[in-house]
Amino acid sequence: MRKDNFIIFLGTGTSTGVPVLSCNCEICRSKHEKDKRLRTSAFVQINNTRIIIDIGPDFRQQLLRSEIDDFDAILITHGHRDHIAGLDEVRAFNYIRNKRIDIYTRKDVADAIRTEFPYIFDPKGYKGPPQINLHIINQDPFTIGNIEITPVEVMHGKMPISGFKMGNLCYVTDANLIPEESMNLMRDCGTLVLNALRTRPHPTHFSLEEAIEVAKKLNPSQCYFTHISHFMGFHDEINAGLPNKMQLAHDMLCIEI
């Protein structure tokens, strides 16, 4: 039974997902469900307000298998395709729930959405596009329903992107650097979600070792790693070697926050 305040990891994979197309490595051949990862996305419920974080190419499949039939808004961390490609799927909620979908994101991401999905914004073009309200956020806290959300700026290579703090949850994906000001916003949180791509270093994402060090500095009550590639290794083997209070997340994991 789901608690009042919880997060569901709709997907925990990197941009390729796991298994990777055409790859025959032992991770991609694994039959263990926890080694299979759709693109990173999450569903968060706090104080009866329901938020989706990122809507990648697996968005439809993720909502169907998790039996999520409604939500209040979408947060988007950045404009890469594995985080926005599922935008067209919100049409179903326009039709069935008879409402426009509120999307909160940075201006550069809103610009990317307008470029990637021009038909949404052309009143004389395609009939029946997604009906959305784009809300531009900066570093100031804002409110959706009963949740106050604080954007947390992190770096994805040379690109600034958004993490989010809401209630006792801090959520960061695709980062390779967290500025000290953002670190200070997230210290001693209840639940930290943080990206960890693989065991080897990467130029634009935290490695597992780097993510562990960041988590130690932030000192959350519990930490779950996401945005994981097939180069990480077997889920259970990696989890067995992680420090106390830290785990790899897996698809469909639901935890209380």
What is the pLDDT averaged over residues 70-98?
Answer: 97
pTM of the model: 0.97
C-alpha distances in angstroms, 92 versus 19, 73, 130, 131, 144? 28, 14, 8, 10, 21
Structure tokens at 43: 């569903």
**pLDDT at 179 (0 to 100):** 98
**pLDDT at 255 (0 to 100):** 98
Residues 209-243 pLDDT 10s: 999 999 999 999 999 999 999 999 999 999 999 99
Q: Diameter of the chain by CA atoms? A: 57
Burial of residue 254 (CB within 10 Å: 0-12, 13-18, 19+) is middle
Q: Is the distance from CB of 154 to CB of 160 less than 8 angstroms?
A: yes
Q: Residue 1's pLDDT band (boundaries 50, 70, 90)?
A: low
What is the pLDDT averaged over residues 12-30?
Answer: 99
Position 1 in a domain: no
* Among the listed residues 38, 40, 45, the one whose alpha carbon sits nearest the alpha carbon of residue 19: 38
How many whole angstroms separate alpha carbon 93 and alpha carbon 146? Answer: 21
Residue 201 main-chain phi, psi, to 5 deg: -60, 155
- CATH code assigned at 83: 3.60.15.10
What is the pLDDT averaged over residues 126-133?
Answer: 90
The residue assigned the tokens 């806290």 is 141
- Helix runs in 26-179, H state only: 59-66, 81-84, 91-97, 107-116
Structure tokens at 182: 């953002």
Q: Residue 125's pLDDT band (boundaries 50, 70, 90)?
A: confident
How many whole angstroms separate alpha carbon 70 and alpha carbon 49? Answer: 11
Domain count of the fold of the chain: 1
On the question of pLDDT at 2 being above 70, the answer is no
Position 187 in a domain: yes
Which residue segment(s) compose the domain that 89 sits in? Answer: 6-256
Measure CA 234 to chain center.
21
**pLDDT at 147 (0 to 100):** 97
**What is the b/e burial string over 181-200, where b = at least 16 CB atoms within 10 angstroms of the residue's CB?**
ebeebbeebebbbbbbbbee
Position 246 in a domain: yes
Number of neighbours of residue 163 by Cβ within 10 angstroms: 26
**pLDDT at 153 (0 to 100):** 99
Position 92 in a domain: yes
Residues 31-58 pLDDT 10s: 999 999 999 999 999 999 999 999 999 9
Question: What average pLDDT does the chain have?
Answer: 97
Structure tokens at 121: 């914004």
